[in-house]
Amino acid sequence: MKTRQGQEKKFAVCITDTEPDLELRKIYQVLPDEAAKREHHLRIIDESGEDYLYPARYFVLIELPKEAERALLMAS
């Protein structure tokens, strides 16, 4: 799914339980951030509802069916 600016929506599943604002095995939306990517981080909308940088190693990027993307975006 693409945003109005043409950016494709990305999602990642959390693979760590060391951060209080992340849940293990939960799917999170990844926001585009090239500077963060160069530093091996991802900009994630976490449990607080805000976006923060987390180490990329805490996540695995995943592709979702369009219906699942829509459902996740509507829930947030």
Q: For the chain, give every domain's residue range.
A: 10-66
Q: Yes or no: is domain 10-66 CATH 2.30.30?
A: yes
Summarize pLDDT for 42-72 with one digit per residue, the tens: 999 988 889 999 999 999 999 999 999 888 8
> Measured between alpha carbons, how far is residue 14 from residues 1, 2, 5, 36, 53 in Å?
20, 22, 26, 17, 13
The pTM of the full predicted model, rounded to 2 decimals, is 0.82
Alpha helices in 1-76 (DSSP H): 34-38, 66-75
Summarize pLDDT for 15-47 with one digit per residue, the tens: 999 999 999 999 999 999 999 999 999 999 988
